[in-house]
Amino acid sequence: MACLASKTWPYVSTCQKLLEDGNPCNSDYECDIISGCWYATPADSVNNLKICIPKYQAANGKIFGYQPKVDLNFKYAIQENYILGKFCQSGIVFIDKKSNSMMCTSIKSVYTSDDNFQKA
């Protein structure tokens, strides 16, 4: 159960069943516990249309819509890739801001060009 606001005036909140996958949503808190609220396609992100999407189910190569999460202030850019990766089996996405998309991916290895890399 969740307290969901009605879509019309006077926007009264009532206790309702959590939304199932594929239903329009505004927040993760409206979706079933094993789902999150996000953009299914890049076109949806441009039009600000979110639906409930199952977490940790999408295979590598699956493309979702992307918009920056302005409510989060990431210290490191990679944090966003992990937080939004909650829809992917791998738990990480590659973000392409120019196309308003993100794609499920995996990291196989990490390299640095500096053999003397030191933590700051």
Residue 14, pLDDT score: 78
User: For residue 120, how many C-alpha atoms fall within 13 Å in the half-sphere facing its CB?
Assistant: 0
Distance CA 20, CA 110 (A): 37
Residue 16, pLDDT score: 79
Residue 72, pLDDT score: 66
Distance CA 1, CA 13 (A): 12
Mean pLDDT, contiguous 10-residue spans, the chain (120 residues): 75 83 92 95 96 97 90 74 93 94 90 64
Q: Which pTM value belongs to this model?
A: 0.78
Residue type, 18: L
